[in-house]
Amino acid sequence: MQHLNKFQFLLVMRVIRPDMLVPAISDFVSFKIGDYFITPPLFDLALIFKDSGPAIPLIFVLSPGADPLNNLQTYADTKKKVVKKVSLGQGQGEKAQNLIEEGIKIGTWVVLQNCHLAVSWMGKLE
């Protein structure tokens, strides 16, 4: 039996074990062009914050299991800022709107979680 090269191995994995394809692709990329291309950048909130402003929010698109909230709270403490949080959905739209208005007036930071549920309150902002 002939041995498979790494690309052929990926093709076999795609057919036999699709659940293991992502790690196999990561191994392939690492082997061919290096770990740099599969290693996510370090999360540096201070660096990211420089790109934000009063009218330019930070938006975190999270992968499963990721939660930057602790990092954000720690960074807010260094800036002496209060962080208010609300999870959208289930009638939380009015609360979110009030927190945003409060943040505009007094400078608190507002974290809106589960924004994919924003449809439940976005119509009220018009």
Is residue 114 within 8 Å of 87, Cβ to Cβ? yes
- pLDDT tens by residue, the chain, 126 residues: 478 999 999 999 999 999 999 999 999 999 999 999 999 888 888 998 999 888 888 888 877 778 888 889 999 999 999 999 998 888 888 899 999 999 999 999 999 988 877 665 455 555
What residue ranges do the domains of the chain occupy? 6-37, 45-125
At the fourth CATH level, which superfamily is domain 45-125? P-loop containing nucleotide triphosphate hydrolases (3.40.50.300)
CA angle at 36 for the pair 20 and 72, rounded to the nearest 5°: 90
This prediction has a pTM of 0.63
Q: Which residues contact 68 (CB under 8 A, 6 or more apart)?
A: 43, 45, 60, 62
Burial of 57 (0-12, 13-18, 19+ CB in 10 A): exposed
Cα separation, 100 vs 122, in Å, equals 13
